[in-house]
Chains A and B, each alone.
Chain A
């Protein structure tokens, strides 16, 4: 553990009422790293992800991003979110805006770009995710895979220094998962720092620098993918991986 970690999550705990959903969760990432959080549903991995951009509030612990304390009450959460992109499981595209409008809203309203500049940036980002031909389509007119790619473009348009992915392929039909993973692969190649919650083990195996296995709000085990997938130290990790594998 060094002081110049890009993201350092230390002893984060969170309760919903009396129920503890995160217990002393810790992990670190360097700039350009890809970390994948895995675990059964209800293990707290999505909640952990949301604590990083404060869509969920952790009650204890520390999250240092680029040396700054994310959990500090003095921090401007809007400034934080401007620098941390997020992609949702359910897409959450703005239903009243076209693909271009969805991507341009942030640059226009948050970064203060002119309509023309924001539109241009939106087109660049949509091109980047392979949707240059769907600029004027509304969310309801897009397939699930296309929606999620717009969601990624929307986050990228803010030029984030960290991208959070919350089960980006879980709501997709199997034949549409590939196109989203392909875009994510591209981001890895470009050196984007990414924190990903997913059930796509092959993706984790291919691109992750570190895999963190969470269960019941605790980090059970973490390590490089080949070690964690091939020779897990903990029995629970092995059981979980077997269960996942039998579904594939």
Chain B
């Protein structure tokens, strides 16, 4: 197993030294230098693949977060006893630990194996990245769903029971559809957080957008600012479009809300 986490830090150290040496005397060239921009665009493909990986990582993590987080939120509202306690403790731990620590623990400690899918294999860094980001997201999504589920008026559940639905059916057909819609704003927020935090898999050497940008500017240190501004722009476009798309979704599935139903 490679020591990617440590490598990332060590590299940062040496590159930092290079950066400060080269800058002695001359102020950094602001956004100028045509040659540096040319370097960026020449490598746009390379960064594009990184952006795709960023998107894939985000989608996979959000999905995992939903699959684990939604039941977890339901357990926190409707469960009891040791299961509820275990879920809430796991949530506190995952929400109280920096994502970089979670990722590194997944990578080194859990020692996620490489997954072979036949056509392609998923590296252990990718698996660790999805697990780390996904489980952390599950801990936050569970809070979003918990709040949404408990915000649905108790009379709704009662009315569901009164026409003969079982408790599970009443939750499933009456409370959950309303709660899911109400959790959209929180979910939207969570989506952009995960998208931005995929950059932190840099710590385990996963070659997504930021890591690729880092590799590029380590190669041509005069283009540092150009490269980072370029990838930042990509991130911004991604978060911006995601937000607008989810706004649309929210409008489309909105139900007329009044003071009482």
A interface list, Cβ under 8 A from B: 53, 55, 77-79, 81-82, 85-86, 88, 90-96, 105-106, 109-110, 138-141, 147, 154-155, 158, 171
Contact = CB atoms under 8 A, between A and B. Distances in A.
Contacts, number: 88
A206 B166 CA distance: 37
A82 B163 contact: yes
B255 interface: yes
Given A94-B174, A105-B173, A55 B162 contact: yes
Contacts of A109: 165, 169, 173
B162 to A, nearest CB: 4
A158 B163 CA distance: 7
Interface stretch (B46-54, B91-99, B150-158): B150-158
B258 interface: yes
11 contacts: A81-B162, A82-B163, A85-B163, A95-B156, A95-B255, A96-B181, A105-B173, A110-B165, A139-B261, A140-B256, A154-B159
B255 A138 contact: yes
Contact of B153 (A77, A92, A110): A92
A53 B164 CA distance: 10
B257 interface: yes
Nearest to B258: A140
A154 B258 CA distance: 20
Contacts of B174: 94, 96, 105
B153 A106 contact: no
Contacts of B173: 105, 109
Interface core residue of B158, B159, B260 (most chain A CB under 10 Å): B159
Contacts of A81: 161-164
A29 B108 CA distance: 72
A96 B153 CA distance: 12
A147 B155 CA distance: 14
A96 B178 CA distance: 6
A93 B261 contact: yes
Interface of B is mostly: helix
Nearest to A151: B159
Given A78-B161, A85-B163, 12 more contacts: A55-B158, A88-B158, A92-B153, A92-B155, A94-B174, A96-B255, A105-B165, A110-B169, A139-B256, A141-B256, A141-B258, A154-B159
Contacts of B163: 81-82, 85, 105-106, 110, 154-155, 158
A65 B153 CA distance: 30
Interface in B140-192: 153, 155-156, 158-166, 169, 173-174, 177-178, 181
Contacts of A85: 162-163
B175 to A, nearest CB: 9
A32 B7 CA distance: 83
